[in-house]
Every structure is written in structure tokens, then in C-alpha cells.
Amino acid sequence: MDKNQDTSTVIRLLKYLGQYKMVLLISIFFTLIVTIIQVLTPVMLGTILNHIQVSIGQGNALDMDYLMRIVGILILMYIVLAVSDIIKERSLVYLSQTLIRDLREEVSEKIRRIPLSYFDQQSTGDLISRATNDIAKIGNNIQVSVSQIFNSLLMVIGILVMMFFISWELALVFLITVPLNFLAVRFITNNTRSYFAQKSRRLGKMVGYVEENFTGTDLIKAFNYIETSNEEFGEINTDLYDVSWRASFMSGVLLPIMTFIGNLAYVLLAIAGSLFVIAQRVLIGDVLAFIQYAQNIRRPLEVIAEMANTLQETIASSNRVFEFLDAPEEVEDRSHVVESPIETIVFDAISFAYEAGKPVIEDLNLTVERNDTIAIVGHTGAGKSTLINLILRYYDVTSGEIRLNGVDIQTMSRENLRKFFGVVLQDPWLIQGSIRDNIRYGKEQATDEDIVEAAKQAQAHHFISALPNGYDTDINEEGTNISQGQRQLITIARAFVSDPEILILDEATSSVDTRTEQLIQKGMANLMDGRTNFVIAHRLSTIVDADMILVMADGKIVEQGSHEELLEIEGTYADLYNSQFKV
């Protein structure tokens, strides 16, 4: 991983933390208090032992008042230590959870600004992993590291100062082992950096694969793909295991190494301290305090080493989140605002390609008047749904213009453009909630009466009323507790309750049976009245009454006209029609 990128990521994280300056300052303040107390308590304990040693050595009685004052101060210090520790931890929990919440909100808002073309190139599971696992790691690691790194650094500095204050000779003995600590930390962190980056990427791949398999369990079983699926999962799981154990091993091996170096320092100090006491260069209490400091400084050094690994994991997760947040956004031009009603929709020599050099639509021209019903037919891959995606600006045309009331839609905000449209897609999409919530999704201000009326018009009221909880029936996460056709009826009712000026039906009846299709057609005849309608259909029976039928092939309109006119031509449309209605 690029070290310059790591540095910029750390700087960016610090800027994020700057948004929570007050909470951060509170936690740092109480961390400072905790550290000062932890540094001073060994000296206080050493003072008690020194007083006892000197008094016994000189044959004097112990000054109990002095000793009790020291003990009282120690008790007070431990109470302040406990209270400060609680406040510090509470502040850091608030900081980390607020950071997690805000980052997820930022990711959620970013999703709304990213073009669909970005998601075409990304794994859904990997994006989910970035928004959940990676952000959680950032927040939780910061909660731990802000406190422990700051506390540990202060502890190390404070302890070293006190060591030199007690005995500079013993301090030099201890410092012999410090370069060993530095070399161990540097070696481990250099090796773990790439492992943690690989771990985050492979975890995203794992989440994507699991999400894909959970949603497609029925198909996996239907096509006897279980064994192959297990093998693929095993490969992904093994890859994740391989890099995870390497990252965990390299980070875990640091603690034993640091413990060994700490024990080495402890032995050296015990030997040197004994010699200095014999030579009467230091008191026993000072040696005791010094050995306590040597023990106390081990944990801060270990924490700093552990946090070095934690920092690598945090940087790896942050890079993935920031990479998503930095993704190019949809270009938004708000120079024009179009008002209702929409009198004309003009496609002026538009061309479009998902990939450069592979056009899906070429030089298409079309003018649609208000209240026209335009049916679009053609073989799979002809460009029918792509045309709808361009109208809604899910994608922008490569060349040419689409104009509403003479205004290029690329000079309108997407919000302004899409408020005129109601959409029913081929694959019914429902939110997790009640049927009432799903229909109201089309219009937040819709009353219960509006919802019932829309359901009646969509021919959905009858089956909804027959459910145990009626309109309050909850739809599960995958919408599998109602049939595919019923799901489609609900999405149609949702579009109807929004009362759009322009209605787009993309294979809207492809998931219902013939009888339900006929019922829907009766309701649609009324609901489509007074609107401009675009209807994409494979079942040509649904569009015989359209004002104009467009036949698309290879991204071009090859035929257009009414149902009767196109039959007379005996071209592509006639072939499609005859293939469906003649044996």
C-alpha cells in the first residue's frame, strides 16, 4: 500500500475527528489526569517504603501521621483515577458511535449522488461491507486507539521523566532495551500493512458472495448448483482465512516479543538496582519504584505496538470507505426548471453506449405529444429499457438531446425531472414494511382513502383485503410471503397513488397470469387517461390500443405506427405479433 496514501488517509481521519473537537478534548483532558495519577502513584508508594527504611535504619519511630497522609492522598488519587477513567471511556464511546453514524449517513447520501454506471462496475456485497464492516472498524478502532495511544505516549514520557528523576544510571540501563522495541514494532507493522488491506478486500468479496447466495438460494437448489457453490465459497473462504491468519499472526507475535524484551529489561534493572543499593547509591524504595515503573512502562509500549497494527487495519478500512466517498458523482445542472404540464418530449438524434465503442442506441429521433401512449417493443437487447433509463436520467445520453417542453433534461435537476414520472418496473421492488407503507411510498402525503382507491384501480384491493391484517400486512425482507404477481400489483398501485403526469410501465404485466393481466388492463385504461404513457411490453396484447408503437432493433426505431398500420407493413412487428397469436 502506498505510504503517501496512508499519510493522506490519516490526515483525513484527523479532520473527521476535528468535527467532534469538544468531545475529543474532554476525553484527552481526562486521559491526561488518568496518566498523571498512574505516573505518580509508584513514587508515593516508594516514599512510604523509603520512610520506613530510613526510620528503621536510624532507629527512629515511624511517623504514622505522615504515613496516613500519604495513604489518604493515594486513596484520593485512586478515586479520582476511577472517575476520570469512566468519563474518558464514556466520551470515547460517544465519539466513536457518532463517527460511525455520521460516516454511514455520508455514505447513504453519497449513494444517492452516484450514477448507476458506478454500481454496474461494483459488487453489491463489497459496497455493503464498506458501509457496515469497514465503517464499524474505523469507529471502534478509533475509540480504542485515541485513548490508548494518547495515554500510552503520556505514560511513557512521564515514566521516563520519573526514572531519570530517581536514578539516571538505572534509567540508562532500562533504555538499552528501547531500540529493540522500536525495531520489533517497525518490522511487524511493515509486514502487516498489506495483509490488513488484503483482508478488507477479501472480506468485501465474501460478503458479496454470501449476499448473492442468500438471495438466490432457490435457484442454486433448482439447478443443482449446491456442490459447485460450496466449492466456490470454500475458495473465497480459504483466501480470506489465509490472509486473515497472516495478519492476525503478525500482529499477535508482537506481544510475545515485547514481553520478552520487557522481561530482559526487568532482569537488568533487578541486577543493577541490587548493586546500587549495596553501594548505597539508591534506597530500596527507589529501586521498588523504578521496577514498578519498568513494569508499568511495558504495557504502554505494548499498547503502542498493538495500536500500530490497529492503525494499519483502520487505514485499510478508511481507504475503502474514502474510495467510495470520492467516487465521481452525477453531474447536476440546475440552470432550467420545467413546470407542469409537459406538452412534448423530444428525442433529438440521441445515441448512447454503456461501454465506449459499443453503442446501444444510435441516432434515435422521436417526438411524443402530451397524453400520447407510446408502446415500445422489440427483441431482448434492442434498447427498450435503455431508452427509459435515458428519459429518467439514470444515464446521460452520449450525444444528442432529450427535451421536455423544449428544455434539455441535462439542464434540469434530476429531482425536477423525475417528479413528473411514475414507474412500474419489470422486477417488482418492495420495501420491508406493511403493504400500506409500500403503496404510500409513491406519495408520502397519500391518505388511507387514496391508498385503497389506488389498490382498487390496480386490481390489488381484493387480495389485500383477504390477507389476515389487510393493508397492515407486513412484507418480509425478500417479499416472499406474497406471490410475484401480487408484488407487481402493489408496485402498480404505488405508481398510481403518486398520480404522475408521465407513466412508465416496463414489462409491468410480465409477472401476472392472464386473468390478472386482463383485470389490470381495465384499471390501466382509466389510470392512463390524461397522461403521457410509455409502455414496454413483450405481451403485445397489452399495447394494441397504443397511439403509437415503436419497434426497436439494435438501438434504432425500425418501425413505428399504430397496431393496424404495423400489421399491414408485415415487418418486424407483424412477425412478433404472429409468433404470439398464431400457431
**pLDDT, tens only, 2-38:** 566 677 888 888 888 888 888 888 888 888 888 888 7
Answer whether 351's CB lies under 8 Å from 399's CB: yes
Q: What are phi and psi of 527, to 5 degrees?
A: -70, -30
Cell (9 digits) for 218: 432457490
The model's confidence at residue 408, banded by pLDDT at 50, 70 and 90, is very high
Band (223; pLDDT cuts 50, 70, 90): low
Mean pLDDT of 221-232: 72
Decide which of 180 and 404 is more confident.
404
pLDDT attached to residue 380: 74
Residue 539, all three cell numbers: 405481451
Please tell me the predicted confidence (pLDDT) of residue 582: 57
Amino acid residing at 139 = G
Residue 251 has a pLDDT of 67
pLDDT tens digit sequence for 515-561: 666 666 666 666 677 788 888 877 776 677 788 888 888 777 888 88
275: closest CA among 167, 165, 160? 167
More confident of the two residues 1 and 147? 147
Distance CA 513, CA 484 (A): 10
Helix (H, G, I), strand (E, B) or coil at 345: strand
**Alpha carbons 300 and 525: distance in angstroms, whole number:** 76
Cell numbers describing residue 123: 459488487
> Which H helix or E strand runs over 344?
strand 344-355
Higher pLDDT, 520 or 571: 571
pLDDT tens column, 318-347 = 888 888 888 887 777 788 888 888 899 998
Burial of 500 (C-beta count, 10 Å sphere; 0-12/13-18/19+): buried
- Asked if residue 43 lies in contact with residue 289, where contact means CB atoms within 8 angstroms, the answer is yes
Nearest-CA neighbor of 247 among 307, 310, 292? Answer: 310
Q: Which pLDDT value is given to residue 401?
A: 92
pLDDT at res. 513: 64
Angle between helices 448-457 and 484-497 (to 10 degrees): 120
Q: Is the pLDDT of residue 350 over 60?
A: yes
- H-type helices in 279-383, by residue range? 284-325
Per-residue model confidence (pLDDT) at position 512: 58
pTM for the complete prediction? 0.62
Average pLDDT of the residues of the chain: 79
pLDDT interval class at 583 (50, 70, 90): very low
Q: Is the pLDDT assigned to residue 511 strictly greater than 60?
A: no
Among 419, 429, 398, residue whose Cα is nearest residue 215: 429
Which tens digits make up the pLDDT trace of 412-438? 888 888 888 888 877 777 877 888 988
- Residue matched to cell numbers 392512463: 528
* Inter-residue contact 496 to 422 (CB < 8 Å): yes
pLDDT score at 477: 58
Which of 518, 547, 517, 519 is closest to 535 using CA atoms?
Answer: 547
Number of C-beta neighbours around residue 118 at 10 A: 15
- The whole-number pLDDT of residue 4 equals 66
Percent of the chain surpassing pLDDT 70: 87
* Cα 543 to Cα 397: distance, rounded to the nearest angstrom: 27
More confident: 365 or 276: 365
